[in-house]
Chains A and B, each alone.
Chain A
Amino acid sequence: MIVGLCLFPFINDSRSMLILYTQIFIFAIFAMSFDILLGYTGIVSFGHCMFFGIGAYSAAVTLNTNENSMGFFLLGILIGAVLAVIVSYIVGMLSLRLQSHFYAMLTLGFAELFHVIAEKWRSLTRGGEGFTFRVPEFLSDRLTFYYVALISLVLIYILLRLFTTSSVGKVLRAISQNEQRVEALGFKVLHYKLISSIVAGVVAAYSGALYVITLRFVDPSVFSIEITLDALLMTMIGGVGTLIGPILGSASVEFFQHYLSQLGKTIPIFERWTLFLGLLYIIVILGFPKGIVGTIKSRTQRKITPKNKDLPM
């Protein structure tokens, strides 16, 4: 699979496909980070776009106010990561004690605050219009950037895999299954949830930074709830509680949007691709609650494992 993706640019050299694949890799990283929260820890954040946006603005502002070199790009990523750690720590400390749907609404509130800051802090963000900026020479080539995104995806997949199979990851899984019991065993649940949200926040910030590099433009829409919802949809379609799932989900959603908008050029009703996206949401949630990976898994392992536990919450 990875070999195929490495060779892909040589087989099919259309620019739009290259950009589409790059986009898929970036959103796959974002969706994986979301699943660390949703699938592995069992907490629903509605404000995950907050970290995506922090990463996006950190990279964009750093490159815009300094020269467009690789050094400043890396500095931007570093700033984004540090901010993500600070913000996820503060937000987590304030809200992780709350019940799940209060937590969801509170994170939505925090994300909205960032959205407002991005619109109001005009000297830094140029407000609602956003700004374009120059990307480093090295990354301005679409083909190079394709490989940067692909390598990032593979590396982050490996890192997150290590994280989820580590002892911390096992505690997180246990929390998603039965929080009270983990608490009773003497684990500090809040402490583990904080680690989970910090890891998810940093990875999301990185995907945000990559995202603005493909666009070469940033505006407050990176803080909009649609970004969070995309991550939710991708994770749900692919399969909650796996890392492959969000990657497959990201690919499905991006392809779906791409081909529907292509189809829209010939058949007018498909121009309304949001309508079909909504229908897809509904069908997936009602028909395949475990997503692609979960459905395949339960088909193949039906006899071995007891019935999967339903989604958290």
Chain B
Amino acid sequence: MNAIINLFVNGLSTGVLIFLLASGLTLIFGLMSVLNFAHGSFFVWGAFVGLWLYDLTNHFFVALIGAVLVGMLIGWLVERILIQPVYGNHIRQLLVTLGGMLVLIECIRIFWGSNPLRANMPDWLEGSFQFGGVILIKYRLFILVVGFLIYLLLWIILKKTTIGIMIRAGVDNREAVQALGINIKTVFSFVFLFGAGMAALGGFLLAPYSGIIFADMGMQYAILAFIVVIIGGLGSIPGAAIASIIVGLAGAFTAFYIPDLSLSINMLLLIFILLLKPTGILGEKGRA
């Protein structure tokens, strides 16, 4: 029984971490329908810049803010240079951001070398405590809290603020929003910037969790994030959250009970859910 509870807790926190990675993509891909393959490089940049700042300053939160700012800057550049010319054309978005990914990842190799780097967590997040036979690792609890906060933040921004209304309206009908005198280009740029910042945050928090970071991890996690966004249903934040937790739990349980399946469980989930419900768990009909 304890094993099951432990697996559940681990899977849950992995799921929340996946949600952090996917949350930016829910906005960019799920909501704005921009297929951005460079998204993975935002995580990687967040992780590398964050680690570098952390080594330099030894302040966890300075590093965190620095990573997010750099992620936003890169996101802004990518949106300006690569994506603005190709809004509305999925294939070209995909290709051009693929090029962007190659360039951004190669820059990581130029600055930090090709070898993986070790990432340590701050002292105050290290360790664990026991709670009725269940070992709770502090860092995982921390991830749970951050994930919950991000979820709330996203939900509030999208559902309760004017800018959220503008974004949702802009996605549904660009021209109508434009006609109301709102500069939809700026709104979309903002969403992109915000999404990239979230990705960088996810990458930064992922680094101590996996203990090691390397330039190639971008593609791997980007695919994971894409899977989550699609499983959850495009544009749905609760969907992405549920899908992240399903993916996290499935990963934890298969790694323990059927290790041979663990590498392919995400893809099997994707295939299974898309075949069952092509719009994803909470996807609305017609959107996408």
Residues of A within 8 A of B (CB): 38, 44, 94-95, 97-102, 104-106, 108-110, 112-113, 116, 119-120, 225, 229, 232-233, 236, 272, 274-275, 277-282, 285-286, 289, 310-313
Contacts and interface: CB of A to CB of B under 8 A. Distances in A.
Interface string B192-222: 0000000000000000000000000001000
Contacts of A232: 95, 98
Interface in B99-124: 99-103, 105-107, 109-110
9 contacts: A105-B230, A105-B274, A113-B268, A272-B109, A281-B99, A286-B85, A289-B92, A311-B92, A313-B89
Nearest to A287: B85
B223 A112 contact: yes
Given A99-B288, A282-B100, A285-B86, A113 B264 contact: yes
Contacts of B226: 105
Interface in B63-97: 82, 85-86, 89-92, 94-96
Interface residues of chain A: helix, strand, loop or mixed (majority): helix
A278 B101 contact: yes
**What are the 5 closest A-B residue pairs judged by CB atoms, nearest first?**
A281-B99, A278-B102, A278-B103, A282-B99, A275-B106
Nearest to B226: A105
A286 B103 CA distance: 15
Given A44-B91, A281-B96, A282-B103, A98 B264 contact: no
A113 to B, nearest CB: 5
A232 B102 CA distance: 14
Given A101-B90, A285-B86, A106 B99 contact: no
B91 A313 contact: yes
B227 interface: yes
A44 B85 CA distance: 21
Contact of A110 (B99, B105, B271): B271
A312 B89 CA distance: 8
Interface residues of chain B: helix, strand, loop or mixed (majority): helix
Contact of B264 (A97, A112, A289): A112
Contacts of B106: 272, 274-275, 278
A188 B101 CA distance: 38
B252 interface: no
A17 to B, nearest CB: 26
Given A99-B288, A102-B278, A112-B223, A285 B90 contact: no
Contact of B99 (A102, A105, A285): A285
Contact of A116 (B86, B103, B223, B264): B264
Contacts of B219: 225
A105 B270 contact: yes
A53 B105 CA distance: 26
Interface string B260-288: 10011001101100110010000000001
B31 interface: no
Nearest to B82: A282
Contact of B95 (A119, A120, A285): A285
B35 interface: yes
Given A277-B102, A278-B106, 20 more contacts: A44-B90, A44-B91, A44-B94, A102-B278, A105-B226, A108-B223, A109-B227, A110-B271, A112-B264, A225-B219, A232-B98, A233-B95, A236-B95, A275-B102, A275-B103, A275-B107, A275-B110, A278-B99, A282-B82, A286-B85
B277 to A, nearest CB: 11
A286 B86 contact: yes
Contacts of A282: 82, 96, 99-100, 103
A102 B29 CA distance: 12
Contacts of B96: 281-282, 285-286
Interface string B136-162: 000000000000000000000000000
A236 B95 CA distance: 9
A294 B68 CA distance: 41
A100 B35 CA distance: 12
Contacts of A225: 219
Contacts of A95: 274
A105 B90 CA distance: 13
Given A100-B90, A102-B274, A272 B110 contact: yes
Interface in B230-277: 230, 260, 263-264, 267-268, 270-271, 274-275
Contacts of B103: 275, 278-279, 282
Contacts of A277: 102
A282 B102 CA distance: 10
Contact of A312 (B35, B91, B95): B91
